[in-house]
C-alpha cells in the first residue's frame, strides 16, 4: 500500500466517522411508481430498507414517468442538501444536465435499475442494477441446456420476442441472448425476431403470427415473463405442445406457469434486491467504501428444476 492510498483510506475513515455521527439524508427520484408491479414493489422495499436503518433519512420521490418533473425533483433534492441522490432515470439522455448539477453541488449520484447514457458517466458515482446482457446470455444457456436434454440441440428453431424497440433493457437482453446462443448451441437457429413491447397481449398476437408462419417452433425466448406468458397463451390456444418457453424478469405469472409445467425457465430479478442494492450502494459511498462503477446485483437462473429455491415473485 503506497502513501497515497493510505492517505485516501484514512480520509475515508475520517469522513465515514463524520457521516455516521449524524444521519445520512438520501434522496431518490424514481421513474414511474405504480405503472407496473416491479416499480411498486421496488418503492415499498426501498422505504422498508431505509426505515430499518436508523442512520438513514430517506426522501422518496417519483417522477411519474415525466422527464421534466424528474429534473425538477433533482433540483429540489439539491436544494435540500441531501447527502446522496439515487435516480431511476425516466430518460437516459435528458436527465444528464440535472445529474451534472448535483455532482457540481458535491452530492454523489447513484443511478438505479436502468443506466443513464454514457455521456453522463463522469457525473455519477455508481450504477446499481441488473446486468441485462448477462441476463440475455443466461436465458440462452437455459434454453440450450434444455435442448441438449431433449436431444434437439442440432436442429431446434427458436423465435425471439423482444421488449419495446429502442429501450436499453430490451436491446441489451436481446444482444446477450443472440450473442450467447450460437456459442453454446451453434446449430440452433433463431428464425424470427419481433417486438412484444413488454405487453402480454401484443406478444400473444406476435406469437399467433409466428405459429401460422412456422410449422416447427421448438423454443421461444421473450424479453420478460409477461411477454413469455402471452406467447404461451397463444401456443396453448393453437394446441401446439412441446415448445420450450424461456423468459427474463421472473413474474408471478411466469412462476405459476413454471409450476404448472408449461413454462421452462427465466431469470430471477427481485425488485427488493434491486432497491436494497441501490440504497446500500449509496450508503457505501457515503461511508467511503470502494465500490465498482457498475455495481450489478446477481440475477440467477430459475427453471422448473430449481424453482423451489426461490419464493414466488410478488409482482
Partner 1 sequence: MPETSQHAQNPREGMMATLSKEQIGRVLAKQGILIAFAIFLVAFTIANPKFLSVDNVFSVVRSSAILGVMALGVTFVVISGNLDLSVGSMMSFSTIVVLDLHDTLGPLLAIPAMFAMTMALGALIGFLVGYLRLNSLIVTLGMLSAIHGLTLTYSGGQNMDIADKEGTWFGVFGQGSALGIPVPILIFALLAALLGLVLGKTPFGRKIYAVGGNGTAATFSGIRRARTVFSCYLISSACVATAGLMQASRSLGSQNTVGQGLELEVLAAVILGGASLMGGSGTIFKTVIGVLILGFIQNGLLLLGLQFYVQFVVTWVIIILAVWLDIAAKRGKLWSPIA
Q: Is 312 in the site for partner 1 (CB under 8 A)?
A: no
Shortest CB 200 distance to partner 1, Å: 6
**How far from 78 is each of 87, 111, 175, CA to CA, in Å?**
13, 16, 37
C-alpha cell at 110: 447513484
Choose among 219, 140, 222, 127: nearest CA to 176: 140
- Binding-site member from 195, 228, 254, 265 for partner 1 (CB under 8 A): 195
Shortest CB 313 distance to partner 1, Å: 10
Q: Is 268 in the site for partner 1 (CB under 8 A)?
A: no
Q: Is 227 in the site for partner 1 (CB under 8 A)?
A: no
Q: Is 185 in the site for partner 1 (CB under 8 A)?
A: no
- Binding-site member from 53, 205, 287, 303 for partner 1 (CB under 8 A): 205
Q: Is 233 in the site for partner 1 (CB under 8 A)?
A: yes
- Binding-site member from 226, 249, 266, 270 for partner 1 (CB under 8 A): 226
- 105, 78 contact by CB (below 8 A): yes
Shortest CB 212 distance to partner 1, Å: 4
Residue 184's H or E segment, with its range, is: helix 168-184
Q: Is 209 in the site for partner 1 (CB under 8 A)?
A: yes
DSSP state of 294: E
- Binding-site member from 40, 53, 168, 304 for partner 1 (CB under 8 A): 40
Task: Please list every residue from 141 through 180 that binds partner 1, using CB under 8 A.
Answer: 165
- Binding-site member from 19, 36, 182, 273 for partner 1 (CB under 8 A): 36
- Binding-site member from 200, 248, 276, 283 for partner 1 (CB under 8 A): 200
Choose among 133, 130, 138: nearest CA to 42: 130
Q: Is 223 in the site for partner 1 (CB under 8 A)?
A: no
Q: Is 213 in the site for partner 1 (CB under 8 A)?
A: yes
Which range touches partner 1 (CB under 8 A), out of 34-42, 84-92, 97-105, 281-289?
34-42
- 108, 133 contact by CB (below 8 A): no
Q: For residues 100 and 202, which CB has a smaller minimum distance to partner 1 in the complex?
A: 202
- Binding-site member from 66, 131, 178, 208 for partner 1 (CB under 8 A): 208
Cα dihedral value 262, 264, 269, 271, nearest 10:
0
DSSP state of 293: S
C-alpha cell at 3: 502513501
Choose among 195, 234, 189: nearest CA to 212: 234
Q: Is 33 in the site for partner 1 (CB under 8 A)?
A: yes
Total residues in contact with partner 1, by rule CB under 8 A: 34
- Binding-site member from 107, 222, 253, 282 for partner 1 (CB under 8 A): 253
Helix, strand, coil share of the chain (percent; to 5)? 50, 15, 35
Provide the H-helix boundaries in 195-265: 200-213, 225-237, 252-259
- 314, 266 contact by CB (below 8 A): no
Beta-carbon count within 10 A of 275 CB:
29
Choose among 314, 234, 235: nearest CA to 268: 314
* Interacting residue ranges for partner 1, rule: CB under 8 A: 33-37, 39-40, 165, 192-195, 199-201, 204-206, 208-210, 212-213, 226, 229-230, 233, 237-238, 251-253, 256, 315
Amino acid at each position: 500500500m503506497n502513501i497515497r492510498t493510505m492517505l485516501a483510506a484514512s480520509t475515508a475513515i475520517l469522513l465515514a466517522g463524520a457521516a455516521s455521527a449524524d444521519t445520512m439524508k438520501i434522496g431518490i427520484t424514481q421513474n414511474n411508481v405504480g405503472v407496473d408491479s416491479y416499480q411498486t414493489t421496488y418503492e415499498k422495499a426501498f422505504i422498508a430498507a431505509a426505515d430499518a436503518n436508523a442512520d438513514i433519512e430517506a426522501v422518496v420521490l417519483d417522477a411519474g414517468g415525466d422527464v421534466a418533473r424528474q429534473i425538477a425533483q433533482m433540483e429540489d433534492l439539491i436544494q435540500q442538501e441531501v447527502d446522496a441522490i439515487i435516480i431511476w432515470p425516466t430518460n437516459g439522455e435528458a436527465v444528464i444536465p440535472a445529474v451534472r448539477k448535483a455532482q457540481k453541488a458535491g452530492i454523489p449520484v447513484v443511478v438505479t435499475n436502468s443506466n443513464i447514457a454514457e455521456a453522463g458517466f463522469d457525473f455519477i458515482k455508481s450504477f446499481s442494477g441488473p446486468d441485462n446482457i448477462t441476463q440475455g446470455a443466461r436465458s440462452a444457456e437455459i434454453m440450450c441446456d434444455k435442448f441438449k436434454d431433449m436431444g434437439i440441440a442440432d436442429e431446434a428453431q427458436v423465435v425471439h420476442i423482444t421488449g419495446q424497440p429502442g429501450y436499453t433493457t430490451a436491446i441489451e437482453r436481446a444482444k446477450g441472448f443472440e450473442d450467447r446462443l450460437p456459442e453454446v448451441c451453434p446449430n440452433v437457429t433463431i428464425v424470427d425476431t419481433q417486438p412484444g413491447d413488454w405487453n402480454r397481449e401484443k406478444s400473444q398476437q406476435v406469437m399467433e403470427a409466428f405459429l401460422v408462419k412456422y410449422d416447427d417452433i421448438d423454443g421461444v425466448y421473450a424479453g420478460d415473463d409477461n411477454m413469455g406468458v402471452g406467447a404461451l397463451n397463444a401456443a396453448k390456444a393453437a394446441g401446439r405442445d412441446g415448445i420450450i418457453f424461456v423468459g427474463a424478469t421472473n413474474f408471478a405469472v411466469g412462476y405459476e406457469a413454471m409450476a404448472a409445467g408449461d413454462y421452462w425457465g427465466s431469470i430471477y430479478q427481485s425488485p427488493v434486491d434491486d432497491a436494497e442494492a441501490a440504497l446500500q450502494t449509496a450508503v457505501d459511498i457515503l461511508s467511503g467504501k470502494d465500490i465498482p462503477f457498475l455495481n450489478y446485483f446477481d440475477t440467477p437462473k430459475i427453471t422448473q428444476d430449481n424453482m423451489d429455491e426461490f419464493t414466488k415473485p410478488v409482482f
